Amino acid sequence: MSYIKEFKSLRLYKLFLEDENLKKLRSKDSFWKEVSEAYGVRRLIRPYLLRDPFYVVVDVGAGKGIFTTLTALMHPKTKVVAIDPDESVKWEHLKNLKNVETYKLSIYSEEFLKLLKGFKKVIMVGIHLCTHLAIRFAQVYNQLEEVRVGVLVPCCVGDYPEQTFKVIEEEIDKYTAWSIYLATLFKGKVKTKRDSKILSPKNILILATKDG
């Protein structure tokens, strides 16, 4: 079943038809693509949240916060934290969600690191983080013991050792080569998979875990 069909079959989908703020979110052009991305990522973190709902899920570069919204609604016991430094991002729809916190912060800032260190166990998610932001995501994962699980969906290709990845780049494509390079940056257990149910060609998911 497609992620969109799955989403529409949920009871909570009704909220997207009734709540004014969520209706506005649903009317955006990129909504269904972003729902499919959020679903793909949530599928990877679901086993961890079923085992322990008290992980804090941190959505880095959250943008409009579609992943934050879906995860918070589907896991009401779990705290979900949206982070984005862009002052123009509107988070009206997140205000009514009791298990959501929002911060206008950069992944490079000390405040960001301090915030994450204040949580016991973090699942850090980065959906479509471009270029250097994806590299920084891996650095934070490696640096902070509190971050137990990381899921990164790479986006625009940044600087990487192209010579080393030339064969892959020629055989497959640059986005795949970039994603494989990013996967090498995470310490410990890492899995990479392409999820064809995501409605975007940039559909590679990197799952890094310190928690088995």
Ligand X SMILES: C[S@@+](CC[C@H](N)C(=O)[O-])C[C@H]1O[C@@H](n2cnc3c(N)ncnc32)[C@H](O)[C@@H]1O
Both ends of the chain: CA-CA distance in Å?
A: 28
What is the H or E stretch that residue 23 is in? helix 20-26
Bridge partners (DSSP) of residue 71 are: none
CB of 118: closest distance to ligand X in angstroms? 18
CB of 106: closest distance to ligand X in angstroms? 4
User: Per CB under 6 A, does 84 bind ligand X?
Assistant: yes
User: Per CB under 6 A, does 157 bind ligand X?
Assistant: no
Please give the DSSP secondary-structure letter assigned to residue 112: H
Which positions from 19 through 48 interact with ligand X, judged by CB under 6 A? 34, 37
Q: Backbone phi, then psi, for 154, in 5-degree steps?
A: -65, 160
Contacts of 14 (CB under 8 A, 6+ apart): none
- Residue whose structure tokens are 């995860």: 71
Nearer to ligand X, 182 or 212 (CB): 182
Pattern of binders to ligand X over 109-148, x per CB under 6 A?
Answer: ------------------xx-x--x---------------
Which positions from 53 through 82 interact with ligand X, judged by CB under 6 A? 60-63
CB of 27: closest distance to ligand X in angstroms? 15
